[in-house]
Amino acid sequence: MTQGLTTSPKNYSGTCIRCGSCMSVCPIYQVSLQETDVARGKMELLEWERSHPEFKESDIFNKIISRCLLCGACENSCPNKVPTKDCIQEVRQHLSQNTKEKIMLSSLKSLMKSKTSGTIFRKSGSFFQHLVGKKLPDSSGMHLRFPLRSMSNRKFIPEISSRSFANMYSSEYSEPKEQTKRIVYFTGCGANYLFIETARALMNVFEKYNIVPFVPQEQVCCGLPFYASGDQTNAIALAKKNIDVIDHLQPDVVLTTCASCGSHIHQWIDLLKNEPDYHIRAQKIAKQQKDAMIFLMEENSSEIFFSQISDNSKKIKANIWYHHPCHLRFGKTQSPLPKKWFDAFPHVNIIYSDDKCCGNGGKFQLSHFDLSMKIFDKRMDDFSPKDIHHVLTSCTGCQLQFSEGMLRHGMTAKVAHPLTWLANINLLS
């Protein structure tokens, strides 16, 4: 037993009616069939905790609270809109003291003990060099996404750039001009360090529009991994830094290419509810936030965008699996499938999948790697995508999960952001 839980979640007023609607949509419950994994079981536990002042937090309690992807599927199907994510988040915040330090220390120790560490260091090359050498900013959520401990389990080890895209951008692209629409591109750590090709692909599209967006070098991680870990202090500090940087540029639109980052920008409002100036500016930025794919499909931009696709490109043949990230399926950033986008390619055979989580869940994949992979395996049960050429998805976490999962399933399909796919096959003439 450790120190007792001193606060009950303020976000929950006991409105769960135990209807069980959340059971059929919870990705974890679908794999484990354990009542404590689904929203109904978690709400029952929190209600019990609330009515028992003598309650002491325990390892079992911590484990139950940690087993949630914060995907939002339960809230979406709940007749009473029980705010499960906020409740879990609030309890995690209470439990989180010193979590980050513990994770980093135990990660380092376990890697040093690992027999395979030498292989991993050789295999992962520049990634570890930069991570261990702290060439990534301390504020990057990538430290939480890839603590050393978790790397021994992985087949897919991403390359990481020591120089951010935002930094390269300032030397490779011309200065943004005064334009009718001021666009700020918030890259997130994914496109800034891991999947730089996504950021480049977006810039290619804008070049055709004759638009040069602002890509502020001073932007930092959106803070989602810290928030999901319950580390409110760092999550708030990062949100404030980003708000200062973005708001200073007076944008009309704030574009994101990672659904998780886009969704977390909306969370800044709640995080800063006690700081009126930041709260107002967070609301403004949330209104300006748009997923880049959605932006390019909108009325004013889609005509120009689709006119850039050459006739030859429209003849391209490929089998594509498009995964709609949870952060585009639920909540404030809920968006339709990008059918309009792919309809431009009549010979592309596309499977849209928008009914299941891939199992990443940010920090969840790191703390529950095996369970996360079981959720992915269930994702793959639906069909046998042996002849799939590309898996496309617009979230850094999903991209990482599919890259790992496809390797485990012996699949050779390339995983990418849809913008990268377009750029790679030179569809834009």
Cβ closest to ligand SF4, residue 124 vs residue 234? 234
Task: Report the DSSP pairing between strands 348-353 and 318-323.
Answer: parallel
Return the residues of window 201-260 that contact ligand SF4 according to CB under 6 A. 221-222, 224-225, 258, 260
Cα angle 404, 217, 147; round to 5: 30
Alpha carbon distance 277, 273 (integer Å): 9
Q: Applying CB under 6 A, does 16 fall inside the site for ligand SF4?
A: yes
> Which run of H or of E encompasses 353?
strand 348-353
Q: Applying CB under 6 A, does 64 fall inside the site for ligand SF4?
A: no
Q: Applying CB under 6 A, does 68 fall inside the site for ligand SF4?
A: yes
Least distance from ligand SF4 to the Cβ atom of residue 82, Å:
4
Cβ closest to ligand SF4, residue 188 vs residue 216? 188
Q: Applying CB under 6 A, does 9 fall inside the site for ligand SF4?
A: no
DSSP for 75-108, please give it: HHH-TT---HHHHHHHHHHHHTTTHHHHHHHHHH
Cβ closest to ligand SF4, residue 3 vs residue 233? 233
Alpha carbon distance 88, 98 (integer Å): 18
Q: Applying CB under 6 A, does 43 fall inside the site for ligand SF4?
A: yes
Query: Rounded to the nearest 5°, which phi and psi values hold at 2?
Result: -115, -170
**Any alpha helices (H) in 117-210, and if so which ranges?**
117-124, 126-132, 142-145, 148-151, 165-172, 188-189, 196-209
Does residue 270 contact residue 287 with C-beta atoms inside 8 Å?
no
Tokens 């928008």, residue? Answer: 354
Cβ closest to ligand SF4, residue 28 vs residue 388? 28
Q: Applying CB under 6 A, does 14 fall inside the site for ligand SF4?
A: no
* Residues linked to residue 415 through DSSP beta bridges, in sequence order: 391
DSSP for 47-70, please give it: HHHHT-TT----HHHHHHHH----
Q: Applying CB under 6 A, does 78 fall inside the site for ligand SF4?
A: yes
Q: Applying CB under 6 A, does 335 fall inside the site for ligand SF4?
A: no
Least distance from ligand SF4 to the Cβ atom of residue 387, Å:
30
> Which run of H or of E encompasses 390?
strand 390-393
Return the residues of window 375-404 that contact ligand SF4 according to CB under 6 A. 396
Return the residues of window 344-373 that contact ligand SF4 according to CB under 6 A. none
Return the residues of window 89-108 that contact ligand SF4 according to CB under 6 A. none
Return the residues of window 264-293 that contact ligand SF4 according to CB under 6 A. 264
Does residue 177 contact residue 399 with C-beta atoms inside 8 Å?
no
Cβ closest to ligand SF4, residue 69 vs residue 406? 69
Return the residues of window 141-180 that contact ligand SF4 according to CB under 6 A. 141
Q: Applying CB under 6 A, does 39 fall inside the site for ligand SF4?
A: yes
Q: Applying CB under 6 A, does 20 fall inside the site for ligand SF4?
A: yes
Q: Applying CB under 6 A, does 84 fall inside the site for ligand SF4?
A: yes
Q: Applying CB under 6 A, does 196 fall inside the site for ligand SF4?
A: no
Alpha carbon distance 289, 268 (integer Å): 12
Cβ closest to ligand SF4, residue 70 vs residue 411? 70
Q: Which amino acid is at 307?
A: S
Q: At what angle do helices 196-209 and 165-172 cross, to 10 degrees?
A: 40
Cβ closest to ligand SF4, residue 236 vs residue 350? 236
Does residue 388 contact residue 411 with C-beta atoms inside 8 Å?
yes
What DSSP character marks residue 194? I
Cβ closest to ligand SF4, residue 72 vs residue 251? 72
Q: Binder to ligand SF4 among 7, 24, 80, 170 (CB under 6 A)?
A: 80
The residues binding ligand SF4 (CB under 6 A) are 16-22, 25-28, 38-40, 43, 68-74, 78, 80, 82, 84-85, 141, 188-190, 221-222, 224-225, 258, 260-261, 264, 396
